[in-house]
Structure 1
Amino acid sequence: MPSSNERALAKAKTLPVDGLILDLEDAVAPDAKPGARENACAAASSGEYGHREVTIRVNGLGTEWHDADLEAACAAGPDGIVVPKVGSADEVHRLVDAMERFGAPDRTRLWAMVETPGAVLDARAIAAASDRLAVLVLGTNDLVKELRARFVPGRAPLLTSLALVVLGAREAGVAVLDGVYNDVKDLAGFEDECRQGRDLGFDGKSLIHPGQVEPCNTVFAPSEAEVEDARGLLEAWEAGAGSGVVTYNGRMVENLHVEVARGVLATDEAVRARS
């Protein structure tokens, strides 16, 4: 959400989303950045956004606004501070040191955007660089530019990069979010990309328009068939305890399948609790 737009910040209180990124970077013109900073910090500290995680995206390291953005965001104490173009573990260390110097509360986590080839190749090191880092966010627009690739349906030029970042996040035990979809009128293409991201292992997707919220929630939430299948598998597992080989609908069931099924039910429960 552009933090220079007070109507957008108010609308964000009503959106059925898990988290909000109150933007000070790309969505805000240079002359509007000081006012946007004040708006974002006031919103983040207001307590008016319910269950939603509220984060502030500051301007990147090396820009004229970064230090003031970071200091103000730390004082506001949002759930997370999103930093664009984080390129290395060393940059993570610098950011975490600055957050501690500026007095960020322990609850304020670092979200690092992965937007360059170097960051993709160092995704594992970036993700594991600090316990304060909680999320990797793909910046797919910048990544396409840096790769000199093209925006094409199916994202073939990005698949290697997407997979490498998911691998790095999973190995480090942090969450990972897919990048934005630019054509807000193409909901069919957007849903296809959501399904692709879900199937690759992303925990969710960053959005740029309220119209993208409902289809994204639908894709990333377990379907009724998936929930039913998970319950049936767990029932078969419990009924077959101690009997050796357990099967369900002709499929052999092992501990890993049980863990996946429990994860499906936990996600479904969490979704229902927020609906």
Structure 2
Amino acid sequence: MPIRPRRSMLYVPGDKTRALEKARTLPVDAIIIDLEDAVAPERKVDARDIVAQALSGDDYGPRELLLRVGGIDVAEDFALAAGLPLDGVVLPKVESGPMVAQAAERIALPIWCMIETPLGVLRAADIAAAPRMAGLIAGTNDLNKELHARHRPDRATLLTSLSLIVLAARAHGLAAIDGVHLDLDDDAGLEAVCIQGRDMGFDGKTLIHPATIDIANRVFAPEPDAVDTARRIVAAWADARAKQLGVARIDGRMVEQLHVDEAERLIAIADAIGAREYDPQ
């Protein structure tokens, strides 16, 4: 399966026509059209009509397009998703593999699961092993609430949960996406948690406002120096293999197959980002 950049995944309320139109012009890797928390109960029916109209044309470009349904039992949302040009559906508050299996029986699309409760974290590996899974998304705000934990800038209260989510995703070859940052006036704080999430192994970050896209895109993109080194590693390995050697040497360091695998992954992400063309804002 080709690698897709998922540095930035923006939630867009399903009942906001202008926001859905604006999303077509944003340099975001993925759009999560939200029919759950972002839509008031009395607006759900209207939201489905608005989403259907917004997605009637193929004008979201290379952006991955996901729909967050209102819940596993909201049949109307699954019926809507089945008729839309989506790349997947997002299930909120998933707490077991059977919940995913139930959704997989309803929809043929790839499935993303929100891990936002203590039980969801403890069962993350079972959830990740369920059918048609594409990725895990950390629901950090709900999780903090369920843990009765305090919000801290360093997210110390969530580190165990975040690590377990990444571990479960990686164990089953899935994407792992970090939770949202709510303080829209705190660019430094946003950058700090993006760096933290990147260093923990997350592929990108969920966002709630377009103003935060650039920081997430920059932090979660491979650094140019790292990409240059990765290309040198791959070239040195190819040369070593041609000489029937089992290892190569770069800048005094030994290079083995595991380093080459990571270098090739980094190059693939960088190339995929470079190939993207977004409409001007």
Q: What's the TM-score once normalised by structure 2's chain length?
A: 0.89
Q: Does the CA-based 8 Å contact 2:113-2:136 persist in structure 1?
A: yes
Q: Does residue 1:184 correspond to 2:184, yes or no?
A: yes
SS in 2 for 1:206: strand
Please, which of 254, 257, 261 is the counterpart of residue 256 of structure 2? 254
Q: For this pair of structures, how many residues does the alignment match?
A: 264
Q: Which has the higher helix share?
A: 1
Q: Does residue 1:126 correspond to 2:127, yes or no?
A: yes
Q: Does residue 1:48 correspond to 2:59, yes or no?
A: yes
Within 2, Cα distance between the matches of 1:24 and 1:18? 20
Within 2, Cα distance between the matches of 1:163 and 1:186? 24
Supply the RMSD in Å over aligned alpha carbons.
1.5
Q: Does the CA-based 8 Å contact 1:3-1:39 persist in structure 2?
A: yes
Within 2, Cα distance between the matches of 1:158 and 1:272? 33
* Superposed structure 1 runs of 4+ greater than 3 Å apart: none
**Which has the larger displacement, 135-144 or 38-47?**
38-47
Please, which of 5, 9, 15 is the counterpart of residue 4 of structure 1? 15
Please, which of 3, 11, 17 is the counterpart of residue 28 of structure 2? 17
- Aligned partner of 1:263 in structure 2 is 265
Runs of 5+ consecutive residues of structure 1 not aligned to the other structure: 100-105
- Aligned partner of 1:114 in structure 2 is 115
The Cα shift of 1:77 comes to 4.5
Within 1, Cα distance between the matches of 2:259 and 2:77? 45
- Aligned partner of 2:100 in structure 1 is 92
Q: Does residue 1:38 correspond to 2:40, yes or no?
A: no
SS in 2 for 1:21: strand
- Aligned partner of 2:226 in structure 1 is 226
Within 2, Cα distance between the matches of 1:266 and 1:98? 33
Cα distance change on mapping 1:24 and 1:245 into 2, 3 Å: closer
Percent identity reads 49
SS in 1 for 2:24: helix
SS in 2 for 1:47: coil
Runs of 5+ consecutive residues of structure 2 not aligned to the other structure: 1-11
The AA in structure 1 aligned to 2:116 is E
The AA in structure 1 aligned to 2:166 is V
Q: What's the TM-score once normalised by structure 1's chain length?
A: 0.91
Within 2, Cα distance between the matches of 1:29 and 1:92? 25
Within 2, Cα distance between the matches of 1:159 and 1:248? 34
Q: Does the CA-based 8 Å contact 2:30-2:65 persist in structure 1?
A: yes
The Cα shift of 1:244 comes to 4.9
Between the two structures, name the one with larger relative contact order (CA 8 Å, sep ≥ 6). Answer: 2
SS in 2 for 1:222: coil
